C-alpha cells in the first residue's frame, strides 16, 4: 500500500491536524510536501517526523495560503522542479480575533480559509493532473478540511467590510464556504481525473481555537470536554479520503467519520456565485471552465 501513495502536499502541516496528517502519510510511505507559512515551525515539524520515522520522505515548501501570489510562486517552483502531485490536502486555516489584511489587502480569515483553498486548488491542479497521467490515469484527489462549526456565508459581504467584524462568524462562514467550493470544484474536475471532497475533523483542541477570544475559547473548551476528539481522530477522515482505496472515485461529498453527510449549504447557484467571487479576487484573468 505504501508504495502507491505517491507525493502528497499538505498545507498548514506544521501543527495540529495538518501535522498529524503529514505525519501519518509519511509513516505510510508517502512523499510529503509540507506547505507552511512559518518556515521555522515547518522545519521543526519536518524534523520531528524524520526523527520518528527514519525512512520518512518529507520536505518543506514555504507558502502563505492567505496570499495568491505566494501560492502561485510555490506552484511555479514545484513545476520548475519537475514535480507532480497525487493528492492535495487543503488544511491551513486561521480563526482571527480582529479584522486584519492579508498581503493583498483582503480580510485574513476569508483570504486564508476560503480564497487560499480556491487558489491552491487552481494553481496546483496541473501538478495533480500530471500525477494522475504519470500513474496510468489513476485519479488524483483533493481533500478540503472543513468543519461542523459553520454558518451560511454572506456572499454580499464575505470579507466583513460593511458589517462589524466577528471572528467566530468569519471562521464559521469560511468553513461553510469550503464545503460549497468543494462541490463547485468537483463539477469542474470530474472529467479531468481529479476527485474533490470535504470533511469535518470534529472538535479538536488545536492552536486555531486556542487563539480565539476569551468567551469563544471558553465555550470551545467546555464543548471539548463533552464531545472532543483527539488530533489522531480528527485527522482520520482526511487520511481516508486522501489515500484509502474505498474512497477511490468519491467526489463532491462532505464526510464525517468516513461517512457521507448531508450538507445544509448545498445550493448550486450560491456555490457558483462563491466560485465566481473567488475567481474575481484571485485576479487570474483566465477563468476555469
pLDDT at site 74: 98
Name which CATH class applies to 2-282: alpha beta
Tens digit of each residue's pLDDT (9 = 90 or more) over 223-269: 444 456 799 999 999 999 999 999 999 999 999 999 999 999 999 99
Q: In what order do the strands lie in the sheet with 194-200?
A: 57-62, 31-36, 7-11, 87-90, 140-145, 194-200, 254-256, 259-260
Which residue ranges make up each domain of the chain? Answer: 2-282
Q: Give the model's pLDDT for residue 135.
A: 84
Return mean pLDDT, the chain: 91
Q: Which long-range contacts (CB under 8 A, 24 or more apart) does 73-77 make?
A: 74/35, 74/123, 75/123, 75/124, 75/126, 75/127
Q: Is the pLDDT of residue 218 over 60?
A: no
What is the C-alpha to C-alpha distance for residues 150 and 175, in angstroms, rounded to an integer?
Answer: 6
Percent of the chain with pLDDT over 90: 85
Q: What is the pTM of this model?
A: 0.91
Q: How deeply is 222 buried, as exposed, middle or buried, from its count of CB atoms within 10 A (0-12, 13-18, 19+)?
A: exposed
Structure confidence by residue, pLDDT tens digits, 94-146? 999 999 999 999 999 999 999 999 999 999 999 999 999 998 878 999 999 99
- Convert the pLDDT of each residue in 197-214 to its tens digit: 999 999 876 665 555 554
Give pLDDT tens digits for 61-72: 999 999 999 999
Inform me whether the pLDDT recorded for 12 exceeds 70: yes
Instruction: Identify the sign of the CA torsion 266, 197, 116, 167.
Output: positive
In this structure, are residues 253 and 260 in contact, taking their beta carbons and an 8 Å threshold?
A: yes
Report the distance separating Cα 208 and Cα 99, nearest Å: 16
pLDDT at res. 1:
31
Catalytic amino acids?
171
* Separation CA 81–CA 129 (nearest Å): 16
CB hemisphere CA count around 194 (13 angstroms): 27
The predicted pLDDT at position 136 comes to 84
Cα atoms in the Cβ-side hemisphere of radius 13 Å centred on 82: 0
**Residue 21 pLDDT exceeds 50:** yes
Which of these ranges, 150-164, 208-222, 252-266, has the smallest mean pLDDT? 208-222
Residue 44 has pLDDT above 50, yes or no: yes
Amino acid at each position: 500500500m505504501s508504495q502507491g501513495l505517491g507525493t502528497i502536499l499538505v498545507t498548514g502541516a506544521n501543527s495540529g491536524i495538518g501535522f498529524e496528517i503529514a505525519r501519518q502519510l509519511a509513516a505510510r510511505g508517502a512523499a510529503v510536501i509540507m506547505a507552511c507559512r512559518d518556515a521555522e515551525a515547518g522545519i521543526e515539524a519536518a524534523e520531528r517526523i524524520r526523527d520518528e520515522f527514519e525512512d520518512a520522505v518529507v520536505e518543506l515548501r514555504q507558502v502563505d495560503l492567505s496570499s495568491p501570489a505566494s501560492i502561485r510562486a510555490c506552484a511555479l517552483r514545484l513545476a520548475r522542479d519537475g514535480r507532480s502531485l497525487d493528492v492535495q490536502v487543503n488544511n491551513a486555516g486561521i480563526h482571527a480575533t480582529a479584522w486584519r489584511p492579508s498581503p493583498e489587502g483582503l480580510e485574513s480569515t476569508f483570504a486564508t480559509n476560503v480564497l487560499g483553498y480556491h487558489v491552491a486548488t487552481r494553481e496546483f491542479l496541473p501538478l495533480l493532473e500530471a500525477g494522475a497521467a504519470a500513474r496510468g490515469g489513476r485519479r488524483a484527489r483533493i481533500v478540503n478540511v472543513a468543519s461542523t462549526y459553520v454558518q451560511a456565508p454572506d456572499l454580499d459581504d464575505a470579507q466583513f467590510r460593511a458589517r462589524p467584524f466577528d471572528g467566530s462568524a468569519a471562521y464559521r462562514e469560511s468553513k461553510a464556504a469550503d464545503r460549497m467550493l468543494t462541490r463547485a470544484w468537483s463539477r469542474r474536475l470530474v472529467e479531468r481525473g481529479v476527485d474533490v471532497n470535504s470533511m469535518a475533523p470534529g472538535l479538536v483542541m488545536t492552536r486555531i481555537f486556542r487563539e480565539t477570544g476569551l468567551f469563544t475559547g471558553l465555550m470551545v473548551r467546555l464543548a471539548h470536554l463533552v464531545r472532543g476528539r483527539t488530533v489522531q481522530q480528527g485527522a482520520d477522515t482526511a487520511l481516508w479520503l486522501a489515500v484509502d482505496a474505498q474512497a477511490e472515485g468519491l467526489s463532491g461529498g462532505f464526510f464525517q467519520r468516513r461517512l457521507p453527510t448531508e450538507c445544509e449549504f448545498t445550493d448550486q447557484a450560491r456555490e457558483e456565485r462563491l466560485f465566481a467571487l473567488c475567481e474575481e479576487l484571485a485576479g487570474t484573468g483566465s477563468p476555469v471552465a
